[in-house]
Structure formats: C-alpha cells, structure tokens
Chain A
Amino acid sequence: MAETTATEALGHGTESRRGFLTMLTGAASAVAAGAIVWPLIDALNPDAQSEASARMIVDAADIAENTAKTVQWAGLPIYIRKLTAKQIADAQAVMTSTLPDPAEFTERVPAGYQNYVVVVGLNTGTPCALEGNDPADPRGDYDGWLCPCDGSMYDPLGRVRSGPAKTNLAIPRFKFINAAQLQFG
C-alpha cells in the first residue's frame, strides 16, 4: 500500500505529471510577474533626493556656546543649541516636580553629548517660531526661548516654564554620528 502511494507520488501517472507541470508553470509565472512588478512598486518609494533630505546630516561643530542654529527638517524649524556650563548646572539643579511638564535633564539632551539641545522651535501653545537662538535675542526669564506671540517661556532645555503653553518643546528623531555631526530621521 505504501509502495503504491510512493510510486504515484513519483509521477508515473499522467495526473501527477500534469499536476507537477501546472505547479511548475504557475511558480515560474509567479516569479516572472513578481520580477516585472517589483520595479514598478519599488519606484514609488521616496526617491533618492527625498530620502537624503529625510535623513539630513547637520554640522554641529560650528555652533558657538550659548547660541543655537536653525535648520529645516521635515518641514519644521529645528533649533540646535550648545549649552554653557552654567546653563547645564542650572538645568540640573531644577526640581523637575515643580515644572508644568516635568522632564529630567537626561530626557532632554542626547546621551553622550549633553551640552547640546535639539528641539522643534515652535511654541507648543500658539504655533510661532521661538526667539532666543542668538544671545542678543530676548530670551525670557529662564535664559531659554521666548514666544513672541503669546509670551510663553522655555528654559535652555526646551522645557516650558511659564505662559499659555503647557508642554515642552518636541524633540525630533536624531542622533549624533560623531562629535561634529548629527543626523535626522
């Protein structure tokens, strides 16, 4: 009984040979169709130019202490700020539980590069570009950023300290690829 089944499975009957050929043709057709269609689908992925700008690399070495540089990424103004030793000490001394939107120092700065703060430079209350990137700009009472539209104030880590705004500045997706460059996306 077992022998008969094995013989049939080997393809001596016309039925199984036809089945095998059908399967072979179907498989070859599926592979061919896939190979033809794949470039068409792949071409609809973001092109090289969009991909490059979505994973933009920014030079951070030219930022002076106590100033921030503005770059545009994903349609947003991004502020990259280099902190002074005093700002770091002040920020670490703050009792986070007293803040409107509590966040630890380490949550606001990139690991290993704790003298940099990278935030989306839009006020979280009324959406306005914040002032305070240049030391000469009005910075509010906390030496951070000031919203010219509704008067919300932020500290150098981008934590909201006063004003109509209730949440901290958003932090974009990024990482330092070396001491001088960071990459978004």
Chain B
Amino acid sequence: MTMELKHSWAGERMPWLGGLCACLFAPVFKPGSKYLDTLPGLIAVALAFLTFSGVVLAVYYDPWHAFASVQFIDRDVHNGWLVHAYHATGTTALFGLLYLYLFRAMVTRGYRAPGELVWALGVKLLAVLLLVGWLGFVLTGGAAAYWSLFKASNGALALSGAPGAIGNWFFGGTAGGNALARLEVFHALLALAALVVVGVLFSARGAVAPKAEPGKGVAFFPYYLSQYLVALAVFALIFSVLAFFAPHFGQPRVNALPADPLTLPVAVALPWYLLPLAGVAGALPGIWGGILGVVGALAVLAALPWLDRSGPSGPKGGLYGFLTWVLALDVVGLGVSCSPLLTGLFTLWYFFHFLVLTPVVTAMEAK
C-alpha cells in the first residue's frame, strides 16, 4: 500500500503523503502498549475538540456583554447550549487527561532519561493550558470570574516597572469589557499555542519511544488504531455522561450569577482544575508571593527529571512510589483545603517533596 501511494498521482506530487503512510503501515511499534499510553492522543483530540467548539462560541461571544452573550448562546443559538456544554466539559476532560498523564509519568517514572524533554513539554503544556483555562473561565463574565479577574488585573497593574508594564499590556485595564476583549484574543491565541506544544510533544515522544526488535513489531494500522478507538470510545462515554448529567461540573456556583462590581462574593472561587495551583499561590503573601508560587510550583514539577537522582535505569523504589501517591493526595488537599493553615502546610509539603524528599529518597534507593 505504501509503494502504491508513493507512485500514485498525489504521492508523486506530495512525497510526505508516502512518508505518512509508511509511518502508519510500517511494523515498527512494540506490541503490548498499555491503554493509558493513548493519553497524549486523547489530549490532542480533546484540544482539537475544544478548538472547534471555541470557534463556534467566538462567533457569538461579546466581551462587552459577556454574561448576556453566554445566555444568548445558551438560549438563542441553534444547539448553543450543547456547544457550550462541549466547551465546558471539554475543559474538564482535557485537564483530567492532562493531570492523569503527568501523574502516570510520575508513577511509572517515565520522565527519566531519555524522556526528560517529553516530561518538560508536558509540564509546559500544563502551564499554557492553565493560563488558557483561567482566561476561558474569566470570559464567562460570571460573578466569580469577574472578581478573579479583578484581583489578578488589579494586582498586576499595581506592580511597578517592567512587570507593571506587562500587566498593563496584558490586561489593558481592570475587569471590564476592555480587558475581556483582549483576553478573548489571548485565550484563542494561547489555545493554538497549546496545540503547537502538543505537536512538539508528539514528535519528542516518537523519538524516544521504544522500538520493536526487527521482525517482531506491529504497524499502527490497524493494531494500535483499534486501541486508540477503544480508548476514544471509553473517553467519549465518560465525556457524554459529564456533558449531559453534570454540565457545570467543577464550576463555582456563584459564577451562575452575572458579574456585579458592587457585590463582592464571600470568597473568590475558581474551577476545579485551577484550585491546586491557586492554593499554592494563595499560601504565599502578596502579589509577588502569588507569582512566585505559580512559577515555583510549575518549575519544580518541570525539574523533576533532574531532581530524581536514581539515574535512567535505577530501581523503582517502593518508598518513592509511596511518596508520589502522598504528593497526589497533597495536591488534592491543596485544591479542597479551606483553612489557610492547611493550605500552607500542603504548599510546604509540595515543595519539600520535590526539593528535599525527591533527591534524597531516590539517591538513597538507587544505592
């Protein structure tokens, strides 16, 4: 089939087509991949899906009447409620997949050489998508969204020097139509940037994927395609249940009210996927504490391959595996904690895990 296509009319004029088919039909992949290995593929699918539904929403969205235009989409646009649910649930699904993907890499320790770049790109994707997700949340124009934007933009505008200038440039004023108009553009632009990151992640992942021994490999088509289809079907099932039975999953309830500059909600609430990072940011005092918390939390996560001292083929220690699960609980705790003391402790543990426990325990276990 590859040869046929190479010498076909289209194949002669577009050589990459033959190359693509060679990738699909070449028996080079190791058989027996796990279903969870399809996570990056599902992330790409979810991201593409969010892009399409986002394009449709952008047709009707009006940053100057943000909340009203979302209501308009829900009520007056054909299937608008469904496209809205696609986008909201797509976000939940995307972050679910991404958190699962990163956690799995931590548990299997797939981040170690030669997978460092893939890991770092995964964390970069998380960072970009957290920003995109926050911007999308802010665009809803609800009460929670308004005050989240108000806090962030006011904090940024109060900074002096270059950071303040960047804040001014990014937000273009405090929470209002003027800010939302440009944040809508940034939301779309950064979503496309996330697609690029996924593309780079795929190529980096392909470069370090274990190759099959000659004569023992299988082709992507149909061997792994069917695995992807099964994974996609399960994903679609979970997605449908969420979209139709819990369309507001993980969204703060107060966001169902329109933004009111004169009414401050009791607490600034965020969607579920932002909560752990917001916990870290909130544990440190001041606007610089918040920025430091966000950057630091993501930086230590990205540095994990170098903080792990066990070497590329060191043994998988039981204690470190246990600590990884404790870290997962810690991150969940950061998300659900309501008391400043607990949030502080969880934040402390988060950095303690990466900066102290990881190098010490892995080095100890590698001996």
Residues of A within 8 A of B (CB): 22, 25, 29, 32, 36-40, 42-45, 47-49
For window 142-189 of B, CB contacts with A under 8 Å fall at none
Q: Which residues of A contact B14 (CB under 8 A)?
A: none
Q: Confirm or deny: B113 has a beta carbon within 8 angstroms of a beta carbon on chain A.
A: no
- The answer to whether A43 touches B56, judged by C-beta atoms less than 8 angstroms apart, is yes
Q: Which residues of B contact A29 (CB under 8 A)?
A: 229
> For A32, A36, A43, which residue has the most chain B Cβ atoms within 10 angstroms?
A43
Interface string of B54-77 (1 = CB under 8 A from A): 001001100000000000100111
Q: A38-B79, A39-B78, A40-B56 are in contact. List 7 more A-B contacts (CB 8 A).
A: A22-B222, A32-B236, A37-B52, A39-B86, A40-B86, A43-B59, A43-B80
- The answer to whether A45 touches B78, judged by C-beta atoms less than 8 angstroms apart, is yes
Closest to A45 in B: B78
Q: Chain B interface mostly helix, strand, loop or mixed?
A: helix
Q: How many residues of B contact A (CB 8 A)?
A: 20
Q: A47 to B69: give the CA distance in the assembly, Å.
A: 12
Q: Confirm or deny: B91 has a beta carbon within 8 angstroms of a beta carbon on chain A.
A: no
Q: Confirm or deny: B83 has a beta carbon within 8 angstroms of a beta carbon on chain A.
A: yes
- The answer to whether B76 touches A48, judged by C-beta atoms less than 8 angstroms apart, is yes
Q: Specify which of B49, B78, B226 is in contact with A47 (CB 8 Å cutoff).
A: B78
A-B contact pairs, 29 of them (CB 8 A): A22-B222, A25-B226, A25-B229, A29-B229, A32-B236, A36-B49, A37-B52, A39-B78, A39-B79, A39-B82, A39-B83, A40-B52, A40-B56, A40-B79, A40-B86, A42-B78, A43-B56, A43-B59, A43-B78, A43-B79, A43-B80, A43-B82, A43-B83, A44-B56, A47-B72, A47-B77, A47-B78, A47-B80, A49-B72
Q: Confirm or deny: B53 has a beta carbon within 8 angstroms of a beta carbon on chain A.
A: yes
Q: A76 to B60: give the CA distance in the assembly, Å.
A: 24
Q: How far is the CB of A148 from chain B (nearest CB, A)?
A: 37
- The answer to whether A49 touches B80, judged by C-beta atoms less than 8 angstroms apart, is no
Closest to A46 in B: B78
- The answer to whether B60 touches A47, judged by C-beta atoms less than 8 angstroms apart, is yes
Q: Which residues of B contact A32 (CB under 8 A)?
A: 236
Given known contacts A29-B229, A40-B52, A40-B56, A47 and B76 CB-to-CB distance under 8 angstroms: yes
- The answer to whether A40 touches B80, judged by C-beta atoms less than 8 angstroms apart, is no
Q: A36 to B56: give the CA distance in the assembly, Å.
A: 13
Q: A29 to B53: give the CA distance in the assembly, Å.
A: 19
Q: Which residues of A contact B78 (CB under 8 A)?
A: 39, 42-43, 45, 47-48
Interface string of B70-104 (1 = CB under 8 A from A): 00100111111011001000000000000000000
Q: How far is the CB of A126 from chain B (nearest CB, A)?
A: 36
Q: Which residues of A contact B49 (CB under 8 A)?
A: 36
Q: A103 to B226: give the CA distance in the assembly, Å.
A: 68
